[in-house]
Amino acid sequence: MTELPKARVATASLAGCFGCHMAILDMDERLIDLMARVDVDRSPLTDIKRFTRRCDIGLIEGGCCNEENVHVLQDFRRNCDVLIAVGQCAIMGGLPAMRNAIMHSDDPLRECLDEAFLTGRYIRNTTHNAPNDPALPLLLDEVYPCSEVVEIDYNIPGCAPTGDVIYETLISLLAGKFRGFEREKIRFD
Amino acid sequence: MQPPSEEDSAPPPPPIDGVVIQSICAAYDNDPHRMMDILIDTQAHFRWISPDAMHQIADLTGLSRIEVEGVASFYTFFSLTPNGRVTIRLCDDIVDRFAGMPEVAKAFEAELGIALGETGADGAFSLEYTPCIGLCDQAPAAMINDIVVTNLTPETAREIAARLKAGDTPEALVSDRFEALAPHARATRMVDNNIRHAGGVLLGPVPREAGLKAALDLRPSQIIDMVEASGVRGCGGAGFPSGRKWRFAAETEAERRVVICNADEGEPGTFKDRVLLTERPHLLIEGMTIAARAVGATEGIIYLRGEYAYLKPLVEEALAERRDAGLLGQAIMGAKGFDFDIRIQMGVGAYICGEEGALISSCEGLPGEPKTRPPFPVTRGYLGFPTVVNNVETLCHVARILDRGAKWFFDMGTDGSHGTKLFSVSGDCLNPGIYELPYGLSVHELLEMAGGEDAAAVLVGGPSGTMIARDQFDRRLTFDDLATGGAIVVFNGERNILEIVEYYMGFFVHESCGYCTPCRVGNVFLQKAIGKFRNGLANPEDIDYLRDLSATIIETSRCGLGMTSPNPILSTLDNFPLVYSAMVKPSKDRVRATFDIQSAIDGARKIAKRRSQIFDRDFTK
């Protein structure tokens, strides 16, 4: 009996809360089953920082709020055959995109930073400055969903999607059978 | 009942307000259904509708203040802040823009010292933009209070502004002896009719009252048979067979029935009703009277769009003349039991009120929101009574059909589209104006007559119609091929199709009543998406996005506005596909070329005062 070659999977969390990665772990013992079929390349789960080689599937959590997110996402697009946006932040911008609502301002980004670090009612910031370490990536003018920065092949909706949904999607993708979601899987109520 | 004493601490309204508002409301019997008129008169007197005024009107009409505010805030021409003594509304239609409105606007701004959208500190002038005011054949045009000025240039704009500043009334701009002029003379001094081709039905010689006399010899059901046999269909754009509409209304059991004339000609590029109201007011009222006879109505309403306020005295004069001549009122033309009278309901600048249900809501003194259908207005319309709503042109046709016979009308035009149609041609052609022609001629033939042969695109039926390209100019103007309420807007090869589309989407964003979310929000998204195309930031998938979102809006809106608002996009996607594909940027390595990292981080670079470690070169090395 010939075994199928294992697929290579990479994951990244951009402007997200790591909740979608928690949901991946929430597959419980099915992780063992999944690990029999895939190798995990670049991912916070393996702590591998760079692609070791081209991957079959990339899973992206979170949208793009800074230049590093864009850089990572573009890197994933160039190194993954299939790129999947996991969760609402990756698909729509999600909670971080609330800052896009500051629109009637001449300088929305500065207004956002000021309120977050200087003028907000509950701020105790003894430096009286917004953080500006040279190691910090520059923020983008607004938070972008992944599909505005690169082409995305599939979306797994949810906040966060359940481990079941992520597991089933990956398994059917690997079997070449993924045809989208059943309606009851993606309904809101 | 006295209000509780705590409310007495609120600042009392100026006493003069109270008396004036009481007399305004009393003039309409404190009837909440006449809210439009009450608010129009209030605004005419105080130049705005103040919170105090709304409070008092609510008390007098038995409504809550929020209901009054709901009406006052719905209509564009109602102002909830004090307006200037003279309000100048510049027509912002795309035809006016191409005809030089931006320069005219600058001239007004400079001469009056206020920016668009502002009211001067001295309260003398307000300056604002308004969508199409039905004068595209003499663009750029503007309304100054209730008068209109046409064919503006920066020079005439400066002159007008200077004269108004020097104390001239807007009326004095038309004539020194404005008050002495007859209403028809006033209207034709302000606005040219531009009748370029008079057909045999409406704009040719028309004998007075011939149709009404014929109708009086017939039983009501025979009138309806005749109208049905003539094949006349609604001329406002939808093309519903008028005879069938009347039959439904006549067959519904009711103690009262109503005939409404829809003179809320709001579709950008349409101005045929303006000419009919100017030249054929009697024919229109004759048609309404015949309709009343046919369906058994005792009351009629002419819903006249606010932009045509300058025509109100003219229509009022015609109504008064007819009352004096026994052609309106009790026992019309001596026929016992044939009682019918008409009032004018002014609109206040809302495109949506051209929609039947919204128009009825507006006549009832409500915000101009469409009604859920069914029930259709023919069974439950104005105040719950069976109501026939017909376009100006349709009603004029009816009067002529009764005079000349159904066959005469039926034999004109083509199969399914009988009779003649008034086409209002504007834009890039030598002879913009009104053409009365039988249905069935081709766009090309009409363009030849109008001197628009070098057209690159023609918008048939206004923004809710179809935009066609040169290869389709042989298509025919009928209900079955290219349906139109009359608007034919011509664009030459120098016009930017996407600019036109973006303008019209902005128009629909502004005019959506907001009841259905897909229309209220979806049109905003469509407009933004077109903006992306114009800025070269559109992905290939954005074309699918435009189509998907358009389909959703069409499917899930309850009235004609939402069902047609994506048409500027859909028809240009079909007929000008290269315009879109030329603006699309495909991805490289599946990384979006349309995402511009440099502009995305520019703001942060300035705030952080450092370069990007990832995307900027390090020039220190």
In this prediction, residue B519 has a pLDDT band, given cuts at 50, 70 and 90, of very high
φ/ψ of A13, rounded to 5, equals -115, 115
Q: Chain B residues with CB inside 8 Å of A130's CB?
A: 607
Interchain pair A77, B599: CB under 8 A: no
Pick from B589, B594, B608: CB nearest A78: B589
| The token pair that represents B37 in the structure block | 């008129």
In a domain, B56, yes or no: yes
What are the tens digits of pLDDT across the range B374-403? 999 999 999 999 999 999 999 999 999 999
Contact across the interface for A150 and B590, Cβ inside 8 Å? yes
Strands B455-460 and B420-427: unpaired
Q: How many residues does chain A have?
A: 189
Choose the closest CB to B608 out of A132, A142, A148.
A132
Instruction: Confirm whether A107 is domain-assigned.
Output: no
Distance CA B505, CA B511 (A): 10
What residue has token string 């009790």?
Answer: B330
Note whether A149 and A74 are within 8 A (CB): yes
Same domain, B318 and B258: yes
What radius of gyration do chain A's Cα atoms show?
A: 19
In residues, how long is chain B? 621
Q: Is residue A112 part of a domain?
A: no
Distance of residue A139 Cα from the nearest chain B Cα, in angstroms:
6
CATH of residue A22's domain is 3.40.50.700
CB under 8 Å to B247, separation ≥6 — which residues? B224, B228
B543 and B485 inside one domain? no
**Is the domain of B364 the same as that of B231?**
yes
B317 & B380 share domain: yes
> Judging by beta carbons within 10 Å of its beta carbon (0-12, 13-18, 19+), is residue B538 exposed, middle or buried?
buried
pLDDT of residue B2: 45
CA distance to partner chain A, nearest, from residue B543 (Å):
14
Q: Is pLDDT of A185 > 90?
A: no
Q: Does B601 touch chain A (CB under 8 A)?
A: yes
Does B286 lie in the same domain as B228? yes
Residues B201/B209, Cβ–Cβ less than 8 Å? no
- The DSSP secondary structure of A85-121, one letter per residue, reads EESHHHHH-TGGGGGGG--SSSSHHHHHHHIIIIIST
Q: Convert the pLDDT of each residue in B81-94 to its tens digit.
A: 999 999 999 999 99
Tell me the residues of chain B between 484 and 523 that have a Cβ less than 8 Å away from chain A. none
Beta carbons of A110 and B607 less than 8 Å apart: yes
Domain boundary among B348, B377, B411: B411
Min Cα distance B595 → chain A (Å) is 6
Residues in chain B within 8 Å Cβ distance of A71: 614-615
Given an 8 Å threshold on Cβ–Cβ distance, is A148 in contact with B614? no
Q: Which residues of B touch A83 (CB under 8 A)?
A: 590
Residues B440, B307: one domain? no
**Residues B259-313 pLDDT 10s:** 999 999 999 999 999 999 999 999 999 999 999 999 999 999 999 999 999 999 9
Kindly state whether residue B501 falls inside one of the protein's structural domains.
no
Cα angle value B162/B166/B169 (rounded, 5°): 95
Asked, for residue A149, whether it belongs to a domain, the answer is yes
- The answer to whether residue A110 neighbours chain B at the CB level (below 8 Å) is yes
Do B104 and B125 share a domain, yes or no? yes
What is the arithmetic mean of pLDDT over B469-487?
94
Give the C-alpha separation, B543 to B527, whole Å: 13
| Predicted pLDDT of residue B14 | 44
pLDDT range class, residue A3, cuts 50, 70, 90:
low
Residues of B in contact with A142 (CB under 8 A): 600
For residue A148, list chain B residues with Cβ-Cβ distance below 8 A.
592, 594-595
pLDDT at B3 over 50: no
B615 contacts on A by Cβ (under 8 Å): 67, 71
Question: Mean per-residue pLDDT for B413-423?
Answer: 95
Nearest C-alpha neighbor of B209 from the set B332, B302, B109: B332
Residues of B in contact with A137 (CB under 8 A): 612-614
> Considering only CA atoms, which of B98, B73, B88 is closest in space to residue B130?
B88
Region B236-261 average pLDDT: 94
Residues from chain A that touch B600, judged by Cβ atoms under 8 A, are: 67, 70, 140-142, 144
Chain A CB contacts of B609 below 8 Å: 132
- Please give, rounded to a whole number of angstroms, the shortest distance from the CA of A28 to a CA of chain B: 34
Domain with residue B540: its CATH number is 1.20.1440.230
pLDDT(B12) > 60: no
A133–B contact, CB cutoff 8 A: no
Question: How much is the mean pLDDT over chain B?
Answer: 93
A116 is a domain residue? no
| Cβ-based contacts of B587 with chain A (< 8 Å) | 150-151
Tell if the CB–CB gap between A71 and B595 is shorter than 8 Å.
Answer: no
Statement to judge: residues B439 and B335 lie in one domain: no
- How far away is chain A from the Cα of B612, in angstroms, using its nearest Cα? 7
Residue pointed to by tokens 């939402």: B562
Residue A2, pLDDT score: 58
Confirm or reject contact between B607 and chain A (CB < 8 A).
yes
Q: Are B236 and B394 in contact (CB under 8 A)?
A: yes
pLDDT for the residue A181: 85
Of B592, B607, B615, the CB nearest to A67: B615
Taking the CA of residue A33 and the nearest CA in chain B, the distance in Å comes to: 32
Cβ separation B612–A140 shorter than 8 A: no
pLDDT exceeds 70 at position B15: no
Check if A90 contacts B (Cβ < 8 Å). no
User: Best residue in A67, A82, A118 to probe B by mutation, most B CBs within 10 Å?
Assistant: A67
Put simply, whether B608 touches A (Cβ < 8 Å) is yes
Instruction: Decide if A70 touches B, using CB distance below 8 A.
Output: yes
Query: B309 and B229 share a domain?
Result: yes
Based on the fold, state whether residues B218 and B338 are members of the same structural domain.
yes
CB contact under 8 A, B595 and A134: no
Look at residue B470 and tell me if it is in a domain: yes
- Domain-embedded: residue B193: no
DSSP lists the bridge partners of residue B469 as: B457
The beta-carbon neighbor of B592 closest among A68, A136, A148 is A148
Dihedral of CA atoms B170, B171, B174, B175 in degrees, nearest 10, equals -130
pLDDT in tens, B97-117: 999 999 999 999 999 999 999
CA–CA separation, B606 and B600 (whole Å): 12
The confidence score (pLDDT) of residue A189 equals 58
pLDDT score of B620: 80
Mean pLDDT of all residues belonging to chain A: 93
> Among candidates B117, B112, B111, which has minimal Cα distance to B90?
B117
Q: Give the pLDDT confidence score for residue A188 in this predicted structure.
A: 64
pLDDT band, residue B9 (cuts 50/70/90): very low
- Is A119 domain-assigned? no
In a domain, A129, yes or no: no
Determine, for residues A134 and B607 on separate chains, whether the beta-carbon distance falls below 8 Å: no
Structure tokens at B299: 């009351």
Question: Which residues, listed in sequence order, are joined to residue B344 by a DSSP beta bridge?
Answer: B302
Domain extent at residue B131: 86-180
Asked whether B333 and B213 are in contact (CB, 8 A), the reply is: yes
Residue B457, in any domain of the structure: yes
Q: Cβ B600–A141 below 8 Å, yes or no?
A: yes
Asked whether the beta carbons of B123 and B146 are under 8 A apart, the reply is no
Is B597's CB within 8 Å of A67's CB?
yes
- Residue B10 clears pLDDT 70, i.e. is over it: no
Please state, as a whole number, how many other Cβ atoms lie within 10 Å of the Cβ of residue A179. 6
Q: What is the pLDDT of residue A153?
A: 95
User: What confidence score (pLDDT) does residue B556 get?
Assistant: 95
Gap between the Cα atoms of B88 and B185, Å rounded: 22
Beta strands in B482-571 (DSSP E): 487-492
> Mean pLDDT, to the nearest integer, of B423-440?
96
Q: Residue A26: give the domain boundaries.
A: 7-97+139-186
Q: Has residue A68 been placed in a domain?
A: yes
Say if B79 falls within a structural domain.
no
- The predicted pLDDT at position A145 comes to 97
In a domain, A104, yes or no: no
Q: Do A109 and B604 touch (CB under 8 A)?
A: yes
pLDDT higher than threshold 60 for residue B474: yes
CA B7/CA B207 separation, integer angstroms: 63
Question: What are the tokens at B243?
Answer: 């005879």
Longest dimension (CA), chain A: 67
Number of domains in chain B: 5
What span, in angstroms and rounded, lies between the C-alpha atoms of B202 and B232?
13
Among A138, A147, A150, most B C-beta atoms within 10 A, so best to mutate, is: A138
Q: Give me B81's structure tokens.
A: 């802040």
Is B613 an 8 Å CB contact of chain A? yes
Both tokens of B100, joined, read: 């030089």
Given B446, B470, B495, the domain boundary residue is B495
Q: CATH no. for residue B465?
A: 3.10.20.600
Residue B384 domain-assigned (yes or no) = yes
Could you report the per-residue pLDDT of B554-579, keeping only the tens digit for each?
Answer: 999 999 999 999 999 999 999 999 99
Query: Is B196 a domain residue?
Result: no
Q: What is the pLDDT of residue B16?
A: 52
Q: What's the CA gap between B423 and B307, in Å, rounded?
A: 20
Which of A20-34, B2-16, B184-198 has the weakest average pLDDT?
B2-16
Q: List A residues 32-61 in contact with B (Cβ-Cβ < 8 A).
A: none
CATH number at residue B58: 1.10.10
How much is the pLDDT for B8?
38
Percent of chain B whose predicted confidence (pLDDT) is above 90: 92
Q: What's this model's pTM, rounded to 2 decimal places?
A: 0.87
Query: CA–CA separation, B67 vs B503, rounded Å?
Result: 32
Rg (CA), chain B: 26
Long-range contacts of B12-20 (CB under 8 A, 24+ apart): B13/B50, B13/B52, B13/B53, B13/B55, B13/B56, B14/B52, B17/B46, B17/B50, B17/B52, B17/B53, B17/B56, B18/B56, B20/B45, B20/B46
Q: What is the pLDDT of residue B13?
A: 35
Chain B CA closest to residue A133: B608
Of B74, B97, B116, the last residue of a domain is B74
B343 touches chain A (CB under 8 A): no
Distance in Å, alpha carbon of B588 to nearest chain A alpha carbon: 9
Tally of domains in chain A = 1
